[in-house]
Structure 1
Amino acid sequence: MLGIQIKFTSKIEEFVAHDGFKMSYGKQALGNEFFIQNTDILLEHGFGELEIKVQPWGNTVCFFPVSENSDLPFDIFAASFYLLTRYEEYLPHVKDEAGRFPVSESLAFKESFLKTPVVDIWAQKFKQVLRQKFPEMEFKKIEFQVESIFAVEHGFVFNNKGIIRSMVGWGNDLVKLHFHRFFDRIKSWMKIKKDPFDVFDDLVSLIKKHSLSTIFMFKVADFTLYDRNINYNRIPYRSNIKFVSDYAKIGLLLGHYSSQTLKILKKEKFRLENIIHYPLENVLNASYDLGIPEHFNTLAELEFENDYSMGYPDDLGFRAGTCSSYLFYDINMEITSPLQIHPYIFNSNVGKKYSSEELKKEIVKIHERVKNVGGTFRAIFKNEDFSEYYNNKRYYSLLKQIHEIE
């Protein structure tokens, strides 16, 4: 986040002899260096219950306080570690109805800093204090970015579903008196009207016009009770994937079972690679438990490079306290993974919780906070959000608001 090159030493004589910028992290300062007093958290093996007291630090909050001898009022490394590793998700906790870690169990939610990128703010305040101590120190400039992810579970709503599924859907429309859908279904089958969920031409046009940074995550799971996506062998679905891959990055949207089983995940990865004809690097778990740390270790084992699942599907905010990408760390194994975690802030599922005006106002506030720290505002949409069967004007408006385009 600060973009400074560092060198570590545990030799006191080497540290004392160094005449450049230096900082110590321990129980007491060794001289006139920049000193951060530590807590014991980063020295421990594994994890355990922690007593956490959140306190103010200027215009933000912090925790793990230390004595006044420290140049910072808290152990910034331990606090950042706690949030970035998702330490609290290793601990026993109540799960939601989908078996996930609920936002209501998080420290950030309980202490009302969920919608603030505290780790990035700490880094910026840390930089300011360092500059006061070392005015000549140079820092890398970081640029604000925006990225949208489109999760494609249902590539079509009417077409390419097979005779049985299509007839069942047709019958349901009649029974429920959904005559508009009933006739739209027939028009789609007869190619008179485009399938309402097939919005890829429109999205790609917007991407090309404004050079938007986007990733499309496609689901290619087997049909099950939980996964009701289009069969990956359907030619129109494969054609849409190939078409989109010419203009945006592609990734795998995990199915219910691939989020739990290595063998199934490996099979789905192979399927999508066979369609796009290049190694798959990106993955999104949009709906299921993140399974920390085992699931992330599995992704690394299968050579995924980028995961975009670090966020709450049902609330706005910063699950890991940051809007910056970072390498996953496994507390159990005490190793840093090569897997890059790219946190998201907004999932279109939260549209159910907010009115359009409320959601716009919340996004304006969070957008500004991310911009102030030079982070990345990452949002997740579904392709059906932009169909006529959803409030597509609302989601096009949100997409444009987030990317700051007209």
Structure 2
Amino acid sequence: MLLVKLDEPSARGRYIIQHMLEGIGGIPVRFAEGEEFRSSNGPKLVYGALPEAGAYHIPASEGWAHTPLRAPIIDLQNGRPNMFPSDHGADPFAVAFYVLSLADEMQCADRDAHGRVPANSLYVVRNGLSDRPYVDEWALRMAQELEAQWPGLIEVRRQYTHTVTVDMDNILRYAGRPFVRALGASAKDLLRGAFGEVAERWSVRSGARLDPYLAVRNVLREQRQAVDRMVVFFLVHGGEKYDHAASLDHPDAIATIQGATLFAEVGIHPSYRSSDEAGLLRQETERLRSVVGSVALSRQHFLRWRLPDTMHQAMENGIAEEHSLGFSDRLGFRASTCTPFRWFDVERDQATGPLLVPFAAMDSALIDHERCMPRDVVERMSAMGELVRQVNGNFVSVWHDRSLSGHREFASWPAVFKEVVQRVRS
């Protein structure tokens, strides 16, 4: 047990120290002050301006524990951010709290065409903190320093894990759409000369052949034993510009969702408009619950989320885990961590809401935005997994039904998925 004294006691300080030292570092902590702290001869840490005899000291920045958050100054050493305690007073807790509270997400006014904060506008990207899970590295380094001074202090040593998550944006490729919509899609295909797709669409709709996206479940089942956790997020709203899900009135759609519960956890993929219109999340979540029962996980479609509204809506609708924390256009660590954490609401000054589960790699970021070839995707995703393995963290990869289907232009991607899973397995 590590006694911790805060010169400036606050909910923010207790939150970040407990998360980094206990949640990541595996060191149980208890906060103390006054005579109890001074008289203790056991392991202890003081977070404040001045060191104290017999205690591990971390210099504290001024003001961040109570005042509106300002972006901390990053200390660069050899071109890399280094916030570990040093003679010049770098403060890893202040920086870690700033990135984990997602204060920059809330304060940034920049938005892209979909209403999202652009990656290049974020503090973590501008300061090179998204390249690695720095919060985890700092926490583990502190834990190692503390255990060197007090052997046996670390009680829990975490293990590396890989979580595969899949966004089912369509569920089915052709089936489960209204007749009029199928006609419109066929007309567009004819205009661009995609005669094969027209024939395939009507062959599926007539029942002469299986929908090609039904292959996804087999790909996932085959690799289930090679991953530590698998979560499948279903979009259940369709018929709009950015929402293309098959109707849940179609038996194959129902069978796909119910079948997923046999090898994975099932979550909701809230529709494009749900982040703008109150009540849609509840409707969609209840629709999915009518098929599978309990639904407590979510990831926003298009990663359209805004703080604090998305967190508050998630709480109101029984969501225990939110999986939207990541980049849509690149690989990286949006909160500089690979460890799930409870979001700290700076407006309410308390840890609240669902558990935030950050992801580090998304297939479409490499396929659609960076135009990577299959071999490059394998190498780059595997490299991200290795960064997480170095800190014994939770590597979360994101895939989509269209790529895992192996249909047409995605013919090579199921093999890519399988190779990545095997290379980054725990």
Distance 1:111 1:326 in 2: 22
Distance 1:44 1:364 in 2: 40
Q: CA deviation at 1:308?
A: 0.8
Q: CA deviation at 1:254?
A: 0.9
Q: What residue is the counterpart of 1:26 in the other structure? A: 48
Distance 1:263 1:120 in 2: 37
SS at match of 2:339: coil
1:217–1:130 CA distance, 2 compared to 1 (3 A): same
1:371–1:189 CA distance, 2 compared to 1 (3 A): same
Q: What residue is the counterpart of 1:315 in the other structure? A: 330
Q: What residue is the counterpart of 2:61 in the other structure? A: 39
SS at match of 2:29: coil
Distance 2:265 2:332 in 1: 24
1:109–1:402 CA distance, 2 compared to 1 (3 A): farther
Distance 1:93 1:62 in 2: 28
Q: What residue is the counterpart of 2:355 in the other structure? A: 340
1:220–1:54 CA distance, 2 compared to 1 (3 A): same
Alignment partner of 1:56 out of 68, 71, 77: 77
Whether 2:8 is the aligned partner of 1:8: answer no
Distance 1:361 1:288 in 2: 24
1:389–1:382 CA distance, 2 compared to 1 (3 A): same
1:213–1:248: 8 Å Cα contact kept in structure 2? Answer: yes
SS at match of 2:31: coil
1:39–1:66: 8 Å Cα contact kept in structure 2? Answer: no
1:135–1:83 CA distance, 2 compared to 1 (3 A): same
Q: What residue is the counterpart of 2:15 in the other structure? A: none
Deviations 1:207-226 (A, max 9, x none): 45546621110111253333
Q: CA deviation at 1:273?
A: 0.6
2:51–2:57: 8 Å Cα contact kept in structure 1? Answer: yes
Deviations 1:241-296 (A, max 9, x none): 1111122100000102222334111111111111112x211101141432012211
Whether 2:125 is the aligned partner of 1:109: answer yes
Whether 2:343 is the aligned partner of 1:328: answer yes
TM-score, normalised with respect to structure 1: 0.91
Deviates more, 1:209-218 or 1:294-303: 209-218
Gap regions ≥5 residues in structure 2? 1-23
Q: What residue is the counterpart of 1:141 in the other structure? A: 157
1:3-402 to structure 2, matched below 5 A, reads 3-9=26-32, 11-47=33-69, 49-50=70-71, 52-56=73-77, 61-63=81-83, 68=87, 73-208=89-224, 210=226, 213-221=229-237, 223-277=239-293, 279-350=294-365, 351-352=367-368, 353=370, 354-387=372-405, 388-402=407-421
Q: CA deviation at 1:156?
A: 1.5
SS at match of 2:157: coil
Deviations 1:321-350 (A, max 9, x none): 001111111111111114111100111111
Q: How many residues align?
A: 398
SS at match of 2:273: coil
Q: CA deviation at 1:84?
A: 1.1
1:211–1:226 CA distance, 2 compared to 1 (3 A): closer
Amino acid in the other structure paired with 1:36: I
1:136–1:377 CA distance, 2 compared to 1 (3 A): closer
Distance 2:264 2:173 in 1: 23
Q: CA deviation at 1:181?
A: 0.8
Deviates more, 1:223-232 or 1:288-297: 223-232
Deviations 1:101-126 (A, max 9, x none): 11111233223342211011111211
Distance 2:238 2:190 in 1: 28
Amino acid in the other structure paired with 1:176: R
Q: CA deviation at 1:67?
A: 6.3
1:345–1:267 CA distance, 2 compared to 1 (3 A): same
2:385–2:424: 8 Å Cα contact kept in structure 1? Answer: no
SS at match of 2:330: coil
1:364–1:243 CA distance, 2 compared to 1 (3 A): closer
1:378–1:51 CA distance, 2 compared to 1 (3 A): closer
Deviations 1:139-188 (A, max 9, x none): 31111111111111111221121110111122222222101212211221
Q: CA deviation at 1:232?
A: 2.5
Amino acid in the other structure paired with 1:144: Y
Distance 2:133 2:377 in 1: 18
Name the % identity: 18
Q: What residue is the counterpart of 1:404 in the other structure? A: 423
Q: CA deviation at 1:233?
A: 2.7
Distance 1:189 1:136 in 2: 64
1:51–1:138 CA distance, 2 compared to 1 (3 A): closer
Amino acid in the other structure paired with 2:29: I
1:140–1:51 CA distance, 2 compared to 1 (3 A): closer
TM-score, normalised with respect to structure 2: 0.87
Deviates more, 1:97-106 or 1:199-208: 199-208
SS at match of 1:199: helix
